[in-house]
Structure 1
Amino acid sequence: MLVVCIMTGVQLVERRYTIRETWLQSLPKDVVIRFVVGTATITKEDHRLLEKENAQHGDLMFLPDLHDSYGSLTEKLLHMFKWLDKHANFQYVLKADDDTFIRLDALMRELKTKPRKKFYWGFFDGRAHVHRAGKWSEPEFLLCDRYLPYALGGGYVVSSDLVHFVAMNAPVLKRYHAEDVSLGTWLAAIDVKREHDPRFDTEYKSRGCRNVYLVTHKQTMQDMRSKYQQLKATGKMCAKEEQYRLSYVYNWEKLPTECCERTEGVP
Structure 2
Amino acid sequence: MASINEVRFNGLLRFGRCALSNNTLTTTSSSSKEDDMRILIAVLTLPDQYLRRHFLRLIYGSQNPEGAKVDVKFVFCNLTKDDQKVLVALEIMRYDDIIILNCTENMNKGKTSTFFSTLPEIFNETNGNNVPYPPYHYVMKADDDTFVRLNSLVESLKPLPREDLYYGFVIPCGSMDPFKHYMSGMGFVVSWDIVEWIHGSDIPKKHVEGPEDKVFGDWMRWGKRGQNRFNAKWSMYNYPDPPSVCSHELVPNTIAVHLLKNQEKWIHTLNFFNFTRDLKPSKMYHIS
Range of TM-score over shorter length: 0.7 to 0.9
Partner of 1:184: 217
Which residue in 2 is equivalent to 1:167?
A: 199
CA contact (8 A) 1:206 1:218 kept: no
Alpha-carbon distance between aligned partners in 2 of 1:117 and 1:166, rounded to the nearest angstrom: 14
2:91 aligned partner, one-letter code: E
Consecutive unaligned residues of structure 2, counting only runs of 5 or more, are 1-37, 124-134, 239-243, 279-288
* Max Rg structure: 2
CA contact (8 A) 1:19 1:224 kept: no
In 2, the alpha carbon distance for the partners of 1:32 and 1:204 equals 32
**Structure 1 pair 204–54 and aligned structure 2 pair: CA distance change class (3 A):** farther
The one of the two structures with greater contact order (alpha-carbon pairs below 8 A, sep at least 6) is: 2
Q: Is the 8 A contact 2:173 2:245 kept in 1?
A: no
Aligned twin of 1:8:
45
Q: How many aligned positions are there?
A: 213
Q: What residue in structure 1 maps to residue 260 of structure 2?
A: 219
1:102 counterpart = 2:145? no
What's 2:115 paired with?
80
Percent of residue pairs bearing the same amino acid type: 24
Query: Per-residue deviation at 1:148?
Result: 6.4
Equivalent residue letter for 2:118: W
Q: Which one of 78, 84, 94 corresponds to residue 46 of structure 1?
A: 84
TM-score if structure 1 supplies the norm length?
0.72
TM-score by length of 2: 0.67
Q: Is the 8 A contact 1:150 1:183 kept in 2?
A: yes
Distance 1:233 1:7 in 2: 26
In the TM superposition, 1:35-74 aligns within 5 A as 35-39=74-78, 42-63=80-101, 65-72=102-109
Cα 1:56–1:93 shift into 2, 3 Å: same
Looking at structure 2, the residues matched to 200 and 119 of structure 1 have their Cα atoms a distance apart, in angstroms, of 17
The correspondence of residues 208-247 of structure 1 with structure 2, limited to 5 A, is 208-222=249-263, 223-229=265-271, 230-233=273-276
SS in 2 for 1:188: helix
Q: Relative to structure 1, is the Cα distance of residues 19 and 127 closer, same or farther in structure 2, using a 3 angstrom cutoff?
A: closer
